[in-house]
Amino acid sequence: MGLQIVWFVIIAIFWTGFFVLEGFDFGVGALHTVVGKTDLERRVAINTIGPFWDGNEVWLIVAGGATFAAFPDWYATWFSALYLALVLVLFGLIIRGVSFEFRGKIETPRWKNTWSAALTIGSIILPVLFGIALGDLLYGLPIDSSGEFTGSFWSLFTPYGIWVGITLLSLTLLHGSTFLALRTTGIVHDRARKLTMPFALVAIVTVVVFTIWTQVLSDNGDIPGPLQAIPVIAIVAAAWAVRDRHDGWAFTATAIAIALTIVSIFVDLYPNVMVSSTNSAYNLTVHNTASGAYSLKAMTVVVIIFLPLVLLYQGWTYYVFRKRVSASDFQPAAATQAVPAPEPAAESAPVSQPGPPQAHGGS
């Protein structure tokens, strides 16, 4: 019984880690054409996430794999319901990944603009789709007594799920702008800082509505208290820190805001893992969807051993690539002009008397 709860918490941690890390990836991808007006400036923005984006996506794979192993019935119902939506998710992930690799292969504006558009589209649709998927867990989908999804593709677009998607999009844009302010210099840095305040205002509105709506949907239906207000406080703190040019604190604050937003969904969802809009008796819970005790014990041992190693490796990666990215990193060094060798004097020339040294030009 205890390991079932532990694994529900672990899966919540995986989803939270995914959005904290991949969240700024989405934000940078969506904003790279906004903060970068030239190809060089866009390269600066993209290269801030170049060493990190593929490692951050591992958290999504682990979250899905952990759900399959720890709660197979939850996985079967949820992923069956999201079947067509997952195709869109894979499309977004693919065009993002391909754009990173293909954008610089051909030096033509049309080619680069095409892949920049692909990166932008993928980075916008993904947080919205993930938000819909997570929001539907709490809002409820048509599920029968056998745990089978009985709705259609359009059943996924619940009002609450759509709002969660909009909320996560606003948070990823804010998270990406603070990351760009932290990791860039020059004009890209200045543009990213200017975007933070309007994004913070939008995020405050979306998070406040999300918090109230989430509390209404949960079993207690209480008015949001001080704990639920922390994401909004973190957003305000991020805007304040950017204004005072404390880029590191601003990024930390947005990470806290997006983390607590994801955590609140799982806190209010428990003990359910998926709500049935057909009948509350058909809800999927932590206890009726979990794997056997032996499987959970074996998985717990694996997590205890390997999760700290993954965290250390990713932490080391962020430490190694902590330097800010600037436009000068991509400008070729000026070619040094060769100094022409002096011509030899003719043999018949008279030997001149010693005199003061003559100045010679060079580069």
270, 290 Cβ separation under 8 angstroms? no
Residues 6+ away with beta carbon under 8 Å from 49:
24, 25, 28, 29, 179
Residue 267 lies in a domain: yes
Query: Average pLDDT for consecutive 10-residue bins of the chain (363 residues)?
Result: 90 95 95 94 93 90 94 95 92 92 88 94 96 95 93 93 97 96 94 94 95 82 65 93 92 96 92 93 93 92 91 91 86 50 47 44 40
Closest CA to 284 of 130, 80, 148, 133: 148
Measured CA to CA in angstroms, residue 120 lies from 26, 50, 125, 282 at distances of: 8, 15, 9, 39
Residue 179 lies in a domain: yes
Structural domain for 184, as ranges: 2-327
Residue 106 lies in a domain: yes
pLDDT of residue 343: 52
Token pair for 10: 């672990």
pLDDT of residue 340: 52
Residue 265 lies in a domain: yes
- 106/103 Cα distance (integer angstroms): 7
pLDDT of residue 346: 45
Number of compact structural domains in the chain = 1
Residue 345 lies in a domain: no
pLDDT of residue 333: 54
**Looking at this protein, which amino acid is placed at residue 69?**
A
pLDDT of residue 54: 86
Token pair for 168: 């996560």
- 353/335 Cα distance (integer angstroms): 38
Residue 336 lies in a domain: no
Residue 333 lies in a domain: no
Reported pTM = 0.87
Residue 47 lies in a domain: yes
Token pair for 357: 């040294």
